[in-house]
Amino acid sequence: MRVGLIGYPVRHSVSPNFQQAAFDALGIDATYELWETPFDRLPGVVASLREPDCLGANVTIPHKQAVLALVDWIDPTAAAVGAVNTIVRESGGRLLGYNTDVEGFVRAVEYDGHLDLSGRRVVMLGSGGAARAVSAAVVGRRATDLVVAARHPDRADDLLRDLSQRGFTDASDIGRVTYLDNRDGALERAVRECDLLVNATPVGMARHAARSDDPSAGPVHSDPAPTLLVRPEWLTPRTLVCDLVYNPPVTPLLRAARARRARVLNGLPMLVYQGALAFERWTSRPAPVDLMRRAAMEALYD
């Protein structure tokens, strides 16, 4: 059997390392592959998941929203978020779309970041598929304030409106939108006052960076020192700074946060938790989460 990661780019991913370790540990005859998929190839790659030798796939940047139209059924969380990150093939070739990012993010922040999201003030950078999952998690755990900072605030407005219309009724009440360029000082004020700052853009990713938080933006080679989306002096020790980028393990944002004595969390815990939830969807077996985490860390640090 085969299963893989659909995205562009995906060469940096450690998902094969920890997913394959889980398959092998449980004696499941499956191979986890990387499927580099430009937009023009996406329909064909998703259609190939219907073959009998396929368990399904993970989906990453920039395809989490585009695959909504290519699967046969979408679970309520994925529908509410408007993004799919896990596809499961049913017998007969029917494709089911799920979103495990929401619960993966909650577990990462609460278990590894030791921060209860309830009653917290949150600032999120970005408005793409990952940002939609983070927003849903934050609203669902009853944060009191969510500021979404984006290069194109109309997309952030769409994000909050979609969440409100799809059942996350608090999204329009607690959500606010501002510009990433801090043109009116609103982003600086929000960051200085927040309990949790989340980078939900690919900025800082090893070997690649996004041209913008536009999910349709293609990859470009990153600078040796990518521009930070927030200024280091805005960060305070009271804030947990979470960067969904996990490669490199310490991004420029996290390095700046450490220098300011803020607590930090990279994207690896969320990656492992969402991957473990996907593994359970594909196999109907409990995922060996600790083993998967060790395999992911070995792949990153070796």
Q: Which long-range contacts (CB under 8 A, 24 or more apart) does 230-235 make?
A: 230/125, 230/187, 230/188, 230/191, 230/197, 231/188, 232/256, 232/257, 232/259, 232/260, 233/260, 234/188, 234/191, 234/192, 235/191, 235/197, 235/260, 235/262
Would you state the structure tokens that stand for residue 237, as one six-digit string? 């020790």
Q: 86 — phi, psi (to 5°)?
A: -140, 130
**Looking at the chain, how many residues does it have?**
302
d(CA 84, CA 97): 6
**Number of CB atoms found within 10 A of residue 24's CB:** 13
d(CA 87, CA 65): 12
For 109-122, b where at least 16 C-beta lie within 10 A, e where not — what string? beebbebebeebbb
d(CA 279, CA 220): 30
Q: 266 — phi, psi (to 5°)?
A: -90, -175
Active-site residue identified among 64, 120, 132, 293: 64
* CA 260 from centroid of its chain's CA atoms: 25
User: What is the radius of gyration, based on Cα positions, of the chain?
Assistant: 18
Spatial CB neighbours of 185, under 8 Å, sequence gap ≥ 6: none
| Catalytic annotation present for 64 | yes
Would you state the structure tokens that stand for residue 213, as one six-digit string? 């938080």
Q: Which residues are catalytic?
A: 64
